[in-house]
Chains A and B, each alone.
Chain A
Amino acid sequence: DAGVIQSPRHEVTEMGQEVTLRCKPISGHDYLFWYRQTMMRGLELLIYFNNNVPIDDSGMPEDRFSAKMPNASFSTLKIQPSEPRDSAVYFCASSLQGAGRDGYTFGSGTRLTVV
């Protein structure tokens, strides 16, 4: 398996623009997670899905953030409109049954810079 695949690897955008991050989880993994990593806040769980259904989005910072998982092999995280404080590395991760038991498999991340 190629692992968790994220695109793009780097994104530079202007404030106010829409940004869409993409993720393909490992086939057969029932859980998909979106994390954000910054120096100030460390790793933050934004949202997670189980069998394509959003289970907990309490970590999504604002209404500007939205996430979807239309099928088992694809998820998106959208920021609209983007702001400079959204600059961070965004990780997608998947897990077979439970991240708290099985652990995560992380993608390589998308480094977002909003100028």
Chain B
Amino acid sequence: AQSVTQLGSHVSVSEGALVLLRCNYSSSVPPYLFWYVQYPNQGLQLLLKYTTGATLVKGINGFEAEFKKSETSFHLTKPSAHMSDAAEYFCAVSDQGGYQKVTFGTGTKLQVIP
């Protein structure tokens, strides 16, 4: 069984400040990990993914995430927030054996304050 916990349903940052969105997962087998972003009235868009290899993964729009097996975490970061980053962010996990078994977190809404 696998699960995802996103800490904080709402996060506010000032424009230009560090963005840190937290995600912890539970999986009985090596996971594949994803971050998706959802802008208002739009579908989810894949930001980045970890499958195997390098644990620091870079995505679109300047975001990156680091897979830390010892901490079962996959936190999303961006050095400097931009107003356009305001959206909802979803962490997701699948196990490497079940390609279609994806579990989403409950989402974190990011507010960027000018």
Contacts and interface: CB of A to CB of B under 8 A. Distances in A.
Interface of A: 4, 31, 42-43, 45, 48, 55-56, 91, 93, 97-101, 103-109, 111
B43 A101 contact: no
B46 A4 contact: no
Contacts of A109: 41-43
Contacts of A98: 99-100
B94 interface: yes
A108 B34 contact: no
A101 B107 contact: no
Given A43-B90, A45-B102, A100-B101, 18 more contacts: A42-B104, A43-B44, A55-B100, A91-B43, A91-B44, A98-B99, A99-B102, A100-B95, A100-B99, A100-B102, A101-B94, A101-B99, A104-B46, A105-B46, A106-B43, A108-B41, A108-B43, A109-B41
Interface in B26-71: 32, 34, 36, 41-46, 49, 51
